[in-house]
Structure 1
Amino acid sequence: MRTSSDRLYDIDGLRLLAALCVVFFHYTFSGWAGGTSPVAFAAESSWSKYGYLGVDLFFLISGFVVLMSAWGRSPRSFLVSRAVRLYPAYWVGIAVTALVAVTLGQGLFQVSLPQVLANLTMFQAVPDIANVDVVYWTLWVELRFYLLILLFTWIGMTQGRIMAGLWGWLGLTLAVEAGVLPGFTDLIVQSEFSHYFIAGMALFMLYKFGLNLQIALLVPICLGNAVFRAIGYADAVGERYAVTYSHVIITAVVVVVFLVMTLVALRVTHRLARPWLVTAGALTYPLYLLHAHVGFVVFGRVGESVNKHVLLYGLILVMLGAAYLMHRFVERPLAPRLKLLLSGRPAAAPALGVLVAGRS
């Protein structure tokens, strides 16, 4: 059983940092550049336009911590742990976002009852029903990743099986990118993000078992593919918002993301970790769920009558406060009840959670 001393507080801090990058991307760039906010932040957008890369860090962290959470679990135990982690806050986030959209967001966001009901399942992408909030798309990415982890819990996790699986997944990724496999296979392979999940899992293996030749080869290959795909994605984002992204900066950010997580796996950053960072980690998922559409509605309603910087930083503080309230009064009390309902056993102390956030 994992003890509190095993918790990676440094990852908790990285998760909140990544979330704030995404928040700044939405509030000071994509909101006004995409027409969902009347408040322009021309100066801030020169750097905040790169904030969507916070999601790249999220997926890398996810590969690491989800494998860590699943190690030694049964398939049922893993599924229960993921449901308990994701659904309570998600349901409340949908309710809050839908209520704000219906009451204050007319003309900006359209939300229907069937749409909300489909979103409650978290599988709304299957029938191609729109997300209640734009950032929810990454949950579908995570859910498909969980299916692969579930497969590992079913066959049994060993060092050899995990490494073989990671090489196989990387091979399928390269085959999809080369056009060798038909496009529909990417529904499972997820070639746009698989390198982050693969590298994150490999870095957990480094953390757990130490360095070996396979990891030393696998992670740099994933890094190379991550840079290749990140540059292509940046060009697409730049075309969407009529801005230019520096390939040098994109490359540097991706390299730094990999480097930082490698230092975590090598336990170098452990000396910088502090227990209070657990609070930072706890705020991350609720902040992700709440900030986007609700924030855009606030900017739309009062953005032209309040100093934009006062509004920006005040709104971020409000969202952090709301995230804390969601964690304190939704996640903490509901998680053990949901676990008892699903598994018949009381919940243990919360393990290191994982956050996804959207780039839009």
Structure 2
Amino acid sequence: MRTRPERLYEIDGLRLLAALCVVLFHYVFSGWAGGKTTVTFVTESAWAKYGYLGVDLFFLISGFVVLMSAWGRTPRQFVVSRVVRLYPAYWVGIAVTATVTVLLGWGLFQVSVPQVLANLTMFQSVPNIENVDVVYWTLWAEMRFYILMLIATVIGITRGRIMAGLWGWLALTFLVELGVLPGIADLVVQSEFSHYFIAGMALFMLYRFGLDWQIALLVPICLGNAVYRAIGYAEAVGERYHVTYSPVVITAVVVLIFLVMTFIALRVTRALARPWLVTAGALTYPLYLLHAHVGFILFARLEGAFNKYVLLAGMIVVMLVAAYAVHRFVERPLAPVLKRLLSKREPPAHAAVPAGSPTG
């Protein structure tokens, strides 16, 4: 068995790239296509409309790094690691988004006190309460994945159990897609994106233990299902925004996502790893949380005051600076405090520090 995995700096850079793809999708395409602003980027939208696939990359990364985070940890340690990682920046994101919405968001968005309070839990989807920001939907998907990983830590994580669990999850995915299982089962199975979580975990097993026949079979099956579901999802997105998506482009992007993560798992990309990429990774989660509704509102209020490309570049810079501020002045100071409050004295776990998804 290989030794404890080192930090994968290249994943930090990949995370920020995925986040910027989502930012460009919102700012260059969905903002005006969805009627949130009249600042239009018609020509650029031909490629920016594919930026939402950054979320698919996030989910694949999440499968990899969350298993890395859970390996060797007790259930309590895993929960503490997720709470410390997720909630401080998320609470700030809610506060900033709600404040900007109340002050400047008239005619675009609205929030209520009960809605904000429910969102603070990150479980607002359970009582079907609307998200304060549209991007929070991915956090509910991630949270359900974390619950499955928590169950794995309770059972005990071993190589054999993880591989058996991955095959079982993939089988349930196909049973949901075939209509054999009732729709409510998809609350747990998440067949729309489960192939990314499954493949990400399988690629971590490849990274940790090396290639075997199960991984060599599991990852391509997940890739096939990912392409199939991504094309169907693109059709739904196209109907929403009245555009068409190329199945060839969708397929190429999904295959590229899998290839890049496979190269990382095989350690092919180690020459690209640079310690400064940690900062890029640190910006990802707060950037993701802050950019959407706040950005739409600022675009709407500032449109006409600046050249649209200057406005676009300025907005991205402002959001990156705000993301760094959240990381530097909120996440870094609060993380050790929260960890001390939530932890109890116990032997240290032999687990690597993950460089995860937007929430990893």
> Residues 84 and 338 of structure 1 are in contact (CA less than 8 Å); yes or no, is this contact kept in structure 2?
yes
What corresponds to 1:111 in structure 2?
A: 111
Q: Does residue 1:195 correspond to 2:203, yes or no?
A: no
- Structure 1 segments unaligned to the other structure (5+ residues): none
- Asked whether 1:339 is paired with 2:308, we answer no
Partners in 1 of 2:190 and 2:183 — Cα distance? 10
Aligned to 1:152: 152
Distance in 2, matches of 1:245 and 1:304, equals 30
Structure 2: 5+ residue stretches without partners: none
For these two proteins, the number of residue pairs brought into alignment is: 355
Is the alpha carbon distance of 1:184 and 1:5 closer, same or farther for their aligned partners in structure 2, counting shifts above 3 Å? closer
User: Shift in Å at residue 6 of structure 1?
Assistant: 1.0
CA distance in 2: counterparts of 1:192 and 1:57, whole angstroms: 14
By how many angstroms is 1:4 displaced? Answer: 11
For residues 352 and 156 of structure 2, the distance between their equivalents in structure 1, rounded to whole angstroms, comes to: 23
How far off is 1:344 after superposition?
3.8
For structure 1, which segment, 31-40 or 248-257, has the greater mean C-alpha deviation from structure 2 after superposition? Answer: 31-40
* CA–CA distance in structure 2, aligned partners of residues 178 and 12 of structure 1: 36
CA–CA separation in structure 2 for the residues paired with 1:352 and 1:91: 22
The residue number in structure 2 matching 1:302 is 302
Please state whether the residue corresponding to 1:248 is helix, strand or coil: helix
CA distances 1:289-318 after superposition (whole Å, capped 9, x unpaired): 100000001100011221000000111011
RMSD: 1.7
- Indicate the residue corresponding to 2:16 in structure 1: 16
| Counterpart-to-counterpart distance in 2, 1:218 and 1:233 | 22
- 1: CA distance, partners of 2:92 / 2:344: 24
User: Do the aligned residues in 2 keep the contact of 1:38 with 1:304 (CA within 8 Å)?
Assistant: no
Q: Tell me if structure 2 keeps the 8 A contact 1:131–1:137.
A: yes
Aligned partners of 2:5 and 2:59: how far apart in 1?
A: 24
Residue 283 of structure 2 corresponds to 283
The letter of the residue matching 1:86 is L
The 8 Å contact of residues 138 and 356 in structure 1, kept in 2 or not, is answered as: no
Q: Are the counterparts in 2 of residues 101 and 109 from structure 1 also a CA contact under 8 Å?
A: yes
Residue 70 of structure 2 corresponds to which residue in structure 1? Answer: 70
1:264 maps to: 264
1:274 is aligned to 274
Is the partner of 2:44 in helix, strand or coil? helix
Q: 1:257 corresponds to which letter in structure 2?
A: I
Deviation of 1:38 after TM superposition, in Å, equals 1.6
What is aligned with 1:216?
Answer: 216
Tell me which stretches of 4 or more aligned residues in structure 1 moved more than 2 Å.
344-357
Indicate the residue corresponding to 1:121 in structure 2. Answer: 121
Displacement after TM superposition at 1:352 (Å) = 2.3
Distance 1:128 1:135 in 2: 15
SS at match of 1:43: coil
1:354 aligns with 2:352: no
- Deviation, 1:107, is 1.3
Q: Using the alignment, how far apart are the partners of 1:4 and 1:151 within structure 2?
A: 22
Q: Contact between 2:84 and 2:339, CA under 8 Å: does it hold in 1?
A: yes
SS in 2 for 1:42: coil
Percent of matched pairs sharing the same residue: 76
AA aligned opposite 1:144? R
Matched, 1:174 2:200: no
Q: What is the rounded CA distance, in whole Å, between the counterparts of 2:172 and 2:266 in structure 1?
A: 28
Tell me the amino acid that sits aligned with residue 125 of structure 2: A
1:43 positional shift: 1.2
How far is 1:351 from its partner?
Answer: 2.3
Query: Partner residue of 1:134?
Result: 134
